[in-house]
Amino acid sequence: MFFIIGQLHLYQIILLLVAIATLAFAYHRLRSKKSTPAAFVLWVIIWIFLLLFAFKPDITVPLAGLFGFGRGIDLLLIVGLLVSLYLGFRLYMRVDDMNQQMNELVREIAIRNEIELDEED
């Protein structure tokens, strides 16, 4: 197999590198006070889970079984899909809110600048 290096599959290596990079970035944000410790801990937990799924798929089977899935990857995909849908919906609501705010802004500008004719006409 071309894509096995030692005992590792290519996707496992990629995931590991992405995990290290993301966590390093999250740590940097934490240190520079751009993010809260809670958010950092959340990221660490998420990545530990993802790495667990990637490196020890067997131990995720009981967890998947708890939700009625046969394989860990199925649980992962469904959870991923639900999270994406939720984020999409939240994003839509945010954009909608901003649209409302922009309407208010444009309305206020319009009302304050009602068009008057120049006197010289």
Partner 1 sequence: MMDIMSNSKNDIFIVVPAYNEEKTVSHIIEGIAGEGYNVILVNDGSKDNTLNLAIESKRKYPNQIFIVSHVINRGLGAALKTGMVVALNKNADYILTFDADGQHEISDIPKVVKPLQDGEADACIGARPFKDMPLSKNFANSVMNFLTLVFYGRKVKDSQGGLRAFTADAASKIDIVSSGYAVSSEFIKEISDNNLRLAEVEITTIYTPETQSKGTDAIVGLKILFKMILDLFRL
Contacts with partner 1, residue ranges (CB under 8 A) = 89, 92-93, 96, 99-100, 102-103, 106-107, 109-111, 113-115, 117, 121
- 71/107 with CB nearer partner 1: 107
**Minimum distance from residue 115 beta carbon to partner 1 (Å):** 4
Count helices and strands (H / E) in the chain. Answer: 4, 2
List the one residue out of 113, 42, 54, 119 whose CA is nearest residue 83. Answer: 42
Query: Residue 29 contacts by C-beta under 8 Å, 6 or more apart in sequence?
Result: 35, 40
* DSSP string for residues in 43-105: HHHHHHHHHHHHH-HHHHHHHHHHTT-SSHHHHHHHHHHHHHHHHHHHHHHHHHHHHHHHHHH
CB of 116 to partner 1, least distance (A): 9
Q: Among residues 67 and 89, whose Cβ is nearest to partner 1?
A: 89
Q: How far is the CB of 80 from partner 1 (least distance, A)?
A: 22
Minimal distance in Å, beta carbon 82 to partner 1? 16
Cβ closest to partner 1, residue 58 vs residue 116: 116
Instruction: Kindly tell me which of 58 and 114 has the beta carbon lying closer to partner 1.
Output: 114
